[in-house]
Amino acid sequence: MGSKIVKYFIVLLGTLIWSVTMFRSGLEGSNGIGFWGANGHDGVWHVALIESLARRGFNNPVFSGSVLQNYHLGFDILLAITHRLTGISIGSLYFQLLPIVFSFLIGILTYKFVFNWRRSLSESFWAVFFVYFGSSFGFVITFLRDKVVTGESMFWASQSISTLINPPFALSLIIILLGLIALQNKKLLLSILCFGILIQIKAYAAILVLGGLFIASIFELFTAHRSLLTKVFLGSLLLNLILFFLFKNDGTSVFVWQPFWFLETMMSYSDRLGWDRFYSAMTTYKMGHIWIKGILAYGTAFVIFIIGNMGLRVVGFYFFLKHKKLDTLLVFILTVVLMAIVIPMFFVQKGTPWNTIQFFYYYLFFFSVFAGIAISWSKVIFKLIIIVFAIFGSWATLQHYLPPRPQSKISTDELYALKFLANQDRGIVFTYPFDSNKAKTAENNPPRPLYFYDSTAYVSAYSKKDVFLEDEINLNIMDYDWKTRREESLNFISNLDPQKGSMFLKDNNIKYLYLVKDNSPLSGEYLKLGTGDLNLEKIFENREVILYKYE
């Protein structure tokens, strides 16, 4: 009875702390809708995508007229189906309900997986503790340097407490844990199903798990003369390939060779470690072919990267000093963690190189398990130190989600306009392209309206319609030619030829123009051409927004 209380206490505490990063975002209040942290971009993108999928289509909601490509849709399809079945609003599902469910499941499944493997209540408890509260050494650096407790991703990787900010990653952990537990119980078909759908949950996870299954199956064949994992690997590979080709993919290379990009940028970027002298030295050695010093410099940077990101998870290495016998499960996990560090060290994602750090998240997850097992063997005083460290590490991130004022918002006036647009007939919406200069100017005046925060999908998300061009960040990740469309949009806004203007609207099937007055690229004008020139009918206007309908 006591062990159950302890188990559920740590799971409920972890669920509560994790959910804080999500729960307040997306709620409508007297001042509109506020968004804390990355929810202003990432959360809004998922709301837009789920809304689009719930309309029973695979169109890209922020690049009208195109089909979704180069993106894993599993999480968003799950929420779209849940929305259709329950009628619960997508915003409530994404920001309030699913975070609780996901964080609870990750804790419970981690506990069950470790207990099945190790048969130790203490090891299972501490593994769950590290999964929920593992943090980097970033806050130590910021405290010593600036006397503040922050710096979660100083060494690049987001930490445990930010798991729900990336819900496909959170869902992939649930699926991986379910697959591993199914393997422990010799339920091959269930494990194949879990591992086989990962490509549409989180592609990074699919690559790592398939690699882990492949190496572990070879190990099993040579040591135990069994083919159980071979069957799981082949079944999972086949299902992943089917799902991969089932959805549109343009066949372009996703990853490009760029060795040590994370090490160099960790040292050079001011919002990371920012050790300029070290960066200058390491790159000078590389360009000057001073190999011995270069190897030492990059080796040192690599150690800083690993230890800095791991924080007290480094005690997980002690696990291997006491557990020297390999089994198939350990071979699988070791393969996953090795791939999770090797891939981002040498390859980056085309267009958005920082995205490749998500491979490393799986390294941190499994080392949280190793660290928890190792800590369970330690004395009480060391466990108390771990708890204190976890409190400061979690606070480094949590503090950004607690202030009453959000970092970004949709104002009441703009929300009213979006709701009005959502009630109109279906049609493609044109809106002003994102202006990074205006966004930079607005940085010191939070909460920033989303159009001055980042290139987001908020018009699509809250108008429930496809937009001609929005969220350039995700379009870049999915490898769309958004720059051409952006140029076309700016040309339309400044165009003085009525025939060309009308042709632009007609050719792109644009039915609505959603124009935020403060975001116009023109000084004192919304469009160079008048409404009569373009056959536009004004259907809505308030202090912030003017809406036109193209007849």
Average the pLDDT over 52-79 and give the result: 93
**Hey, is 541 helix, strand or coil?**
strand
Model confidence over 306-327: pLDDT tens digits? 999 999 999 999 999 888 789 9
73 within 8 A of 54, measured Cβ to Cβ:
no
Closest to 368 in 3D by CA, of 386, 344, 350, 346:
386
Which one-letter DSSP state was computed for residue 467?
A: B
**What's the predicted TM-score (pTM) here?**
0.95
pLDDT surpassing 70 at residue 249: no
Distance CA 64, CA 514 (A): 15
pLDDT surpassing 90 at residue 243: yes
For 11, the enclosing helix (H) or strand (E) is helix 2-23
Distance CA 123, CA 112 (A): 11
Query: What confidence score (pLDDT) does residue 246 get?
Result: 84
Do the strands 32-35 and 28-29 form a parallel or antiparallel pair, or are they unpaired?
antiparallel
Model confidence over 474-508: pLDDT tens digits? 999 998 999 999 999 999 999 999 999 999 999 99
Closest to 319 in 3D by CA, of 127, 161, 158:
127
pLDDT surpassing 80 at residue 252: no
Query: What confidence score (pLDDT) does residue 350 get?
Result: 83
Distance CA 304, CA 427 (A): 52
471 within 8 A of 455, measured Cβ to Cβ:
yes
Total residue count of the chain as it appears in this document: 551
72 within 8 A of 199, measured Cβ to Cβ:
yes
pLDDT surpassing 80 at residue 248: no
Distance CA 471, CA 492 (A): 19
Sole residue written with tokens 């003369």 = 225
**Hey, is 471 helix, strand or coil?**
coil
C-alpha Rg value of the chain to the nearest Å: 25
pLDDT class of 464 with cuts at 50, 70, 90: very high
Enter the tokens of residue 526: 């919304």
Domain locations in the chain as residue ranges:
2-35+69-401, 408-550
pLDDT class of 250 with cuts at 50, 70, 90: low
pLDDT surpassing 60 at residue 336: yes
pLDDT class of 253 with cuts at 50, 70, 90: low
Is the Cα dihedral 472, 473, 474, 480 positive or negative?
Answer: positive
> Distance of alpha carbon 530 from its chain centroid, rounded?
42
Min mean pLDDT across 127-131, 277-281, 403-407 is at 403-407
Distance CA 470, CA 457 (A): 5
164 within 8 A of 23, measured Cβ to Cβ:
no
Helix residue ranges per DSSP H, 376-497: 380-398, 412-422, 436-441, 458-463, 472-477, 482-494
Query: What confidence score (pLDDT) does residue 2 get?
Result: 61
Model confidence over 185-215: pLDDT tens digits? 999 999 999 999 999 999 999 999 999 999 9
DSSP line for 35-84: E-GGGGTHHHHHHHHHHHHHTT--B-TTSTT-B--S---HHHHHHHHHHH
409 within 8 A of 458, measured Cβ to Cβ:
no
